[in-house]
Amino acid sequence: MSEIVAPGDLMLPSELERQKIFYTLKKVSSITAWRRNYALYKAWADVTKASLQEATRQGWALVTSLPASELAFVQGGLDEFRKAMAKLEKNNFKDFGDPPFFELIAARKRLTIQLSVQRRVDEGENGVNEPHTPLWQAYCDAMHSAYDEWAECSMHLYQRDYFPGGLWYYNRWLRNDLPLMHFPDDMEAVPDPAVNTFVRANGFVPFAGIWEPVAAPATRFIDRFTGAWRPQAPFKVVAPMKYFDRGAQAHAMTLQDNSDSDDKGEKLHLAWRLLWREDRYTDGTMPAEEAHYRFLEPERSRPTTSGGEPVDGVIWAWSGAAAPASGTWLCDTQGKYREVRKKGQRMGFLQGARVVRWVLIRPD
């Protein structure tokens, strides 16, 4: 597996930004983050239940757009999420590097299905009986809050299906968001292990943790067995670090201009170096630093401007940036995908994690 990256999109962070990314990866992969995700998911289910209760009290149970079947669907996702958290807590989170995938996959799938339904309502494709659906706007807000917080964590991680992607490279969006994030004054330095653990490109990582790609020699097939592929100090960082779970595939990377059909691409010769191994919960306690974690989503500390300025009258924004205007937005690489966003609301990620550019096609 090789990730294709446009040469202009592969940005190396400064040393301070590298330190901030390390802190961020620990934060969004923490059990504190996923307890918070669960709380927001539960808040969404609670609003759904309150809506149906009020509709029933008013005699609208048969006409509300959030009937008992919708509540059962949302509640089913919450039940799957609860099972995942229970598995982790049962063993004091010692298996956090091997999380319960199937339950989280099911919970995320139900959330994204309901988001797609609400999106079609916004676009006018589907109708909603809002006068007889109590708390409809609160329901939509709670659903988006649950999704936005999930996305804030999952887009930085690479943990198979329930984290559907990962931050493949340090991009302009992250560079703009880092100054908005909260970091302690005594932020932990990026570790420089005395004993190095490497995984070659396309190899499988033996430990959950934070890995960083460094330059490695160009190799032949036989070098996989002789160890000649391993880099030697001093190490040259070639791309930003990532959090992998145990057994994840440490991908290769190719620089290729997707807009140029003649560009055959340049393969980066790299190996992944383990900076920090996931072991923070093995003694059954929570690290003290987690009490100070703060998140961007779904609080009102989102960016106030998009990553792009209008060009020839066209208004656009990257995934993750704040919408500079309210209206309907079109994905400029996949024309069938549309989103309705209010000004200041984060632009979505294609298929839950892929960074794309959105173009405003119908302002409010």
201: in domain: yes
User: Do 7 and 39 belong together in one domain?
Assistant: no
pLDDT for the residue numbered 303:
45
Q: Which two tokens stand for residue 199?
A: 């995984």
Q: Are residues 146 and 35 in the same domain?
A: yes
Query: Are 140 and 224 found together in one domain?
Result: no
- Tell me, yes or no, whether 11 and 36 share the same domain: no
The one-character DSSP state at 282 is: T
Residue 171 belongs to some domain of the structure:
no
Q: Both 145 and 191 in a single domain?
A: no
Residues 9 and 37 grouped into a single domain: no
Distances (CA, A) of 38 to 7, 102, 158, 298: 38, 16, 19, 13
Going by C-beta distance under 8 Å and a sequence separation of 6 or more, which residues neighbour residue 86?
Answer: none
Structure tokens at 122: 């916004």
Distances in Å between the Cα of 194 and the Cα atoms of 71, 228, 270, 273 are 53, 20, 20, 12
In this structure, is residue 170 part of a structural domain? no
DSSP 114-140: HHHHHHHHHTTSS---GGGSTTHHHHH
Using left for φ > 0, alpha for ψ between -120 and 50, and beta otherwise, residue 271 falls in beta
Q: Given this model, what pLDDT does residue 98 score?
A: 62
Q: Do 6 and 35 belong together in one domain?
A: no
pLDDT at 284: 75
Q: Is residue 347 part of a domain?
A: yes
Residue-level pLDDT at 156? 66
In a shared domain, residues 121 and 145: yes
- Does 169 fall in a domain? no
If asked whether residues 193 and 86 sit together in one domain, one would say no
227 and 196 in a single domain? The answer is yes
Residue 220 CA to residue 299 CA, distance in Å, equals: 50
Residue 145 lies in a domain: yes
Name the phi and psi angles at 212, rounded to 5. Answer: -130, 135
Within a domain: residue 166?
no
Last residue of a domain, one of 242, 276, 292: 292
Q: Would you give per-residue pLDDT tens digits along the chain (364 residues)? A: 667 777 777 778 889 989 999 999 999 888 898 899 999 999 999 999 999 999 999 999 999 999 999 999 999 999 999 998 888 777 655 555 566 678 888 898 899 899 888 877 876 777 889 999 999 989 988 998 898 888 777 766 665 454 544 444 555 666 767 777 889 988 999 999 999 999 998 899 898 889 999 999 877 766 666 667 888 899 999 888 888 888 888 888 888 876 556 667 788 889 999 999 988 887 777 888 998 898 877 754 444 444 444 445 678 887 767 788 888 888 866 556 778 888 877 777 765 555 677 888 888 8
**186 and 234 share one domain:** yes
Q: What is the pLDDT of residues 187-211, one digit of tens each?
A: 999 999 999 999 998 899 898 889 9
235: domain range?
2-15+181-292
Which residue among 277, 292, 307 closes a domain? 292
125: amino acid identity, one letter: E
In a domain, 161, yes or no: no
- Which residue type is seen at 294? R
Domain count for the chain, please give it. Answer: 3
What is the pTM for the complete model shown? 0.77
Same domain, yes or no: 186 and 229: yes
